[in-house]
Structure 1
Amino acid sequence: MEREQQIYERQGMEEYLKYQLEHESEPFSPGPAFSFVKALEAVNNRLRELYSQSEELFDVVLVTNNHAYVGLRLINTINHHRELHDTHYTGPLKGFLEALGKLQRKFFDKGLRMDCPIRTYLVTARSAASSGTRALKTLRSWGLEIDEALFLAGAPKGPMLEKIRPHIFFDDQMFHVEGAAELGTVACHVPYGVAQRAAKK
């Protein structure tokens, strides 16, 4: 929505709304999270094949602070790309990882461990000798199995993420989020880590 945002900033709300109404039937172009949502839908499709009666699937919610008039264009875009289930998801990252692990195990239970479409990495700037083992044990206690764990011992995460090319990357430090984003990785800040607690003190 770069063009639309420019109209809003330069010409004001009324011209912005007029433009949206005039282009209501034109879908937005895919954004940076598009491939991630497609990947989630691919996982859901496989789960439906394996567990036709199960309702444990990924839910996707679109949250926007744009004017309500933009809503129809957003709905038209979703229908055009046929990529979103009209549902919602709430909860902290721990809840997300627990749910991810539960879905992951559904593939394992069918003997598809090596062909599981869910692949997770732990990429940490710490060393394995410090808190790396604790991190792995914590994730395992949440039911999530990590495919690969990389302990960078202080090295930047960006170059490694550029090689892995994840659909999405979570980190509790903006330094790593910004570094990943500069290299083209969709990155999300999770304000629940040690760095945030230290800053509040």
Structure 2
Amino acid sequence: NRCAEFATSATVFSPRKITEVPETQLRVAFDGDDVLFSDESERLYKTHGLDKFLEHEKAHENKPLDHGPLKGFLEALGKLQQKFYPKGQRLDCPIRTYLVTACSAASSGTRALKTLRSWGLETDEALFLAGAPKGPMLEKIRPHIVFGDQMFHVEGAAELGTVAAHVLYGVAQKFQSKTVRDVKKDTSVKQLE
């Protein structure tokens, strides 16, 4: 059932001490695979390794990825943002969105950006970290919430003071090394459905 496939669920981790965030601008950060996009690329990487993944992404650079569970949320934020653009508030829009992914721009960045364009969507910033930790970038952009599919990144964000939501979707869930029960005691956990 296609509806059940995208009945998104996320576990929200509220850190004990939250990083100071802007009061006049809502900032939302999304991971790519398994969050905005389907788990197609992640599944290939996990099952066939980096070389096959890179080969596949290059060969399919112009083929949009299928949508992931939070595409609709990005669409809704985009519609809200567009209400401010005619008023000359493009740069000072009270909503700002980010794509923050551990992938590199060279390996899958082009496909990710082309996919967003094919959907008629965009993010204000697309950050391809090429395997670098997301924490330092999250400290710079100070989002109100970050959505990710891998507990490693979600826990890292929460430890730095960012509210983080673990999106329960995709092949990455089969490869998790930690579960919700393993989360440190200083983090408050809420289940959203």
Q: Given the two structures, how large is their TM-score scaled by the length of structure 1?
A: 0.50
Larger CA deviation: 118-127 vs 144-153: 144-153
Cα distance in 2 for residues equivalent to 1:196 and 1:102: 30
Q: Name the residue aligned to 1:147.
A: 124
Higher share of residues assigned helix? 1
Unpaired segments ≥5 residues, structure 2: 1-16, 27-68, 177-193
Is 1:159 aligned to 2:136, yes or no?
yes
- CA drift at 1:144: 3.3
Is 1:177 aligned to 2:154, yes or no?
yes
Runs of 4+ with >4 A deviation: 35-40
Higher share of residues assigned strand? 2
Is 1:115 aligned to 2:117, yes or no?
no
**Partner of 2:83: helix, strand, or coil?**
helix
**Partner of 1:129: helix, strand, or coil?**
helix
State the identity as a percent.
Answer: 81
Deviations 1:4-23 (A, max 9, x none): xxxxxxxxxxxxxxxxxxxx
Matching residue within 142, 165, 168 for 2:145:
168
**Partner of 1:150: helix, strand, or coil?**
strand
- CA drift at 1:189: 0.8
Q: Name the residue aligned to 1:79.
A: none
Q: Name the residue aligned to 2:184.
A: none
Identify which of structures 1 and 2 has the higher relative contact order when contacts are C-alpha pairs closer than 8 Å and 6+ apart. 2
- CA drift at 1:159: 1.6
Is 1:97 aligned to 2:43, yes or no?
no
1:101 touches 1:143 (CA, 8 Å); kept in 2? no
Residues 113 and 38 from structure 1, CA distance in 2 versus in 1: closer, same or farther, beyond 3 angstroms?
Answer: closer
Structure number with greater Rg is 1
Unpaired segments ≥5 residues, structure 1: 1-30, 41-91
Aligned length, in residue pairs? 118
Residues 171 and 144 from structure 1, CA distance in 2 versus in 1: closer, same or farther, beyond 3 angstroms?
Answer: same
Matching residue within 71, 77, 101 for 1:124:
101
RMSD: 2.9
Residues 193 and 108 from structure 1, CA distance in 2 versus in 1: closer, same or farther, beyond 3 angstroms?
Answer: farther
